A and B are shown apart, each in its own frame.
Chain A
Amino acid sequence: MMTAKMKPGGYYDRTYEQTLRILYTPWQWVALIIFMLFLIIFPTFASSHLLTIGIRLGITIITVVGLNIVVGSTGLLNVGQAAFMAVGAYCSSMLMSKVGINFFPALLAAGIAGALVGLLFGAPSLRIKGFYVALATLAGYFIIIWALIEWFGGITGHPAPRPEIFGFTFESDISFYYLVGAITLFLSLFARNLFRSRVGRAFVSLRDHDIAAEILGINVFRYKMLSFGVGCFYAGIAGALQAHFWGYTNIEAFPFSDSIWFLGMVIVGGLGSVLGSVFGAVLFVALDEVVVVVPSLVLALFPSFADFGQMEAGLKWLVFSIVIIVFVIFEPNGMVHRWNLIKSSFRVYPFNY
């Protein structure tokens, strides 16, 4: 899916390790450090609304990166990501409020629970591929939600207290922001490294042709399961963080449409690319904010449109869908491809290539 990325001039790869490095030039390091500093000082000047958006963005990035491992790199269409998030949310909130475990083991348990449930519904994918996997995960979504409602606490679920470690509670949104940010960074870096490891290459070969991959000696079932497990682990972590950010679990926070939008973020951002997932998540979270504002503007201009709530919901559905469709038709390689093109056009300026 990634086309040849133009490398900065004057930097030659002499060893295999050099081709694999993420950052090439000193200026990329500088840019990265400036960006990190920005992320660190962000809460000092951000309003509480912006901070909430930041936390939401972090949680969305985690789940989209996880989905990108399954969809973008292994080519298994998972349309049930929201349900795996719900599993994580219910698991960690139950462990914390019923059993009384500390947040961090509970978070890990939430990820593992997500992974196990993901394996359960990923298991049919040994014999099937393409949209059959989409059907299996779609069915999985509804079965999981039903099971959570019937057996694991119902629609309103459980209280999810803020995390606490060594006497320090992440009570304020600022501290929670740092927690989510650290976990997002760690998991994104992990995914980035996974993509360039042996396992990641096995995933890509499965995506390109699973029978050919099997002939090359890749254990198809094992790697498909591994991919599902890792992707749903991410979803479980993201769901748990979301529950503990809000303070309670609610099944309505994980609607089926969210699964579609996560898939959309993966495609709009760029398949098989962590940076792409970040781009996609940023675009959609930003769009969500815009869509919420538009109805009040329209209402101020045309007071006759009184159906405020429906306009908000309807616009969100419509705008998100149109963005996804436009990207799939006109730029199937995603935003990250466009980004690379822009970067290389700067590098070779004033020439065309």
Chain B
Amino acid sequence: MDTFLVLIVSGLFSGSIYCLIAVGFVVVYKSTKILNFSQGMLVVLGAYLLWSLLSLGVPAWLALIGGFALTMGASMCIERVCMRPLIGQSILASVMVTLSLMGGLRGIVLLIWGAQGKKFPVDFVPTGVWNLGMLNVPKEKAFALMACVCLIVVLYLFFKFTRTGLGMKVISEDHFIGQIVGLKINRAFSYSWGIAGLVAAVGGTFLGMIISIRPELEEIGLKALAAMLLGGLESIPGAIIGGLIIGLAEALSGGYLSGYLGSGIGEVSPYILIIVVLLIRPYGLFGWKKIERV
């Protein structure tokens, strides 16, 4: 029972990171219908930018703001340069471009920062452990979970009550109708990539605090695809639930099945979930089933 609880808690914590990344996927997919494979690399980029600012001696609060702003800017630049010419092109083109963006960002990261792991010189949140009975809860992971919840609430309010957010919802419904009622599609796309960059930067900050930053961390982004798919491609609450499920599945299968199926089962379980979801319910838990007409 003890192991079970420990696994549940650690699964929920790693799930919160998946949530943060999956929300970035969903925000972009909702308005642009593009599956952004490079989201995981944006997370890594955000972490590295923050690290650079910190190692330049910028005070922590300013570095946080600056790092978030830089990542948002980078993300919006990517949208402007690489994705906007592809509006109306085939899915193959957009998938190919985001896949190669993943590679290109990785190349930039390798060229600038190298391949060694980096650790933030300061801690943004208290570190240490809370002792809850038999459970040891690492504080930074708990803060990651809280930040995840806060971010979701903010995004929910943004899409529900602000003019821009409502406009983006309309555009995600139908590009054509959005244009008819006078919304600017380009701007909505740009904002959605900006939000994705912001979410990525937050994810990168926590990732950098929990484990050291390495270019290989983008694989977390690929696993978060499972969270997005499980929740349904268009649904932010779905991404949250999907992320937590993926985190739990990873922790539990790593804890209980590695004796039978080899030690890598925890790592690979999100991908197995992708296949299962695609076979049973391709539109996810909360996604829309599309009816296609010829």
Contacts and interface: CB of A to CB of B under 8 A. Distances in A.
B271 A128 contact: no
A264 interface: yes
B110 A150 contact: no
For the residues of A in contact with B, the DSSP-based class is: helix
Contacts of A332: 89, 93
Nearest to B89: A332
A314 to B, nearest CB: 3
Interface stretch (B61-69, B118-126, B144-152, B261-269): B261-269
A310 B114 contact: yes
A320 interface: yes
A329 B85 contact: yes
A131 B50 CA distance: 32
Contacts of B274: 135-136, 138-139
A324 B275 contact: no
A231 interface: no
B95 A134 contact: yes
Interface string A125-152: 0011011101110111011001001110
A322 B106 CA distance: 12
Interface stretch (B97-105, B133-141, B167-175, B187-195): B97-105
Interface in A239-280: 257, 260, 263-264, 267, 271
A215 B35 CA distance: 29
Given A138-B222, A212-B294, A317 B93 contact: no
A131 B95 contact: yes
Nearest to B229: A135
Contact of B100 (A121, A123, A264): A264
A211 interface: yes
A7 interface: no
Given A139-B271, A146-B264, A263 B96 contact: yes
A343 interface: no
Interface stretch (A71-79, A105-113, A222-230): A71-79
B111 A321 contact: no
Given A135-B278, A139-B226, A75 B103 contact: no
Interface in B225-276: 225-226, 229, 261-265, 267-268, 270-272, 274-275
A316 interface: yes
B228 to A, nearest CB: 9
Interface in A194-230: 209, 211-212, 215
B264 A321 contact: no
Interface residues of B, number: 46
Contacts of A33: none
Given A132-B282, A328-B93, A317 B226 contact: no
B40 to A, nearest CB: 12
B117 interface: no
A208 B292 CA distance: 14
Contact of A320 (B100, B115, B264, B278): B100
Contacts of B270: 139
Contact of A317 (B107, B225, B261, B272): B107
A337 to B, nearest CB: 14
Given A77-B92, A136-B275, A325-B82, A315 B107 contact: yes
Interface string A143-173: 1001001110000000000000000000000
B229 to A, nearest CB: 6
B167 to A, nearest CB: 25
A313 B95 CA distance: 23
Given A211-B292, A263-B96, A317 B89 contact: no
B103 A321 contact: yes
Contacts of B265: 146
Contact of B107 (A130, A212, A314): A314
Given A121-B275, A209-B294, A260 B225 contact: no
Interface string A65-107: 0000001000101010000000000000000000000000000
Instruction: Select the residue from B91, B225, B226, B267 with max chain A CB neighbours within 10 A.
Output: B91
A324 B111 contact: no
Instruction: Select the residue from A127, A135, A311, A332 with max chain B CB neighbours within 10 A.
Output: A135
B68 to A, nearest CB: 25
Contacts of A311: 110-111
A95 to B, nearest CB: 23
A23 interface: no
Contacts of B157: none
Interface in A302-353: 307, 309-311, 313-322, 324-325, 328-329, 332
B56 interface: no
B5 interface: no
A124 interface: yes
B99 A329 contact: no
Interface string B44-80: 0000000000000000000000000000000000000
A323 to B, nearest CB: 8
A228 to B, nearest CB: 14
Nearest to A141: B271
B96 A264 contact: yes
Nearest to A305: B111
Contact of B110 (A127, A260, A310): A310
23 contacts: A127-B278, A131-B91, A132-B278, A135-B35, A135-B225, A135-B274, A136-B274, A138-B225, A139-B270, A139-B271, A139-B278, A142-B268, A142-B271, A209-B294, A317-B104, A317-B106, A317-B107, A321-B103, A321-B104, A324-B96, A328-B93, A329-B82, A329-B86
Given A127-B278, A324-B100, 18 more contacts: A75-B92, A123-B279, A131-B35, A139-B278, A142-B222, A142-B271, A143-B268, A143-B271, A146-B265, A150-B262, A260-B103, A263-B96, A310-B114, A314-B108, A318-B107, A321-B107, A328-B93, A329-B82
10 A-B pairs with the lowest CB-CB distances in the bound complex, closest first: A318-B107, A317-B107, A314-B110, A321-B104, A150-B262, A139-B274, A139-B271, A314-B111, A321-B100, A321-B103
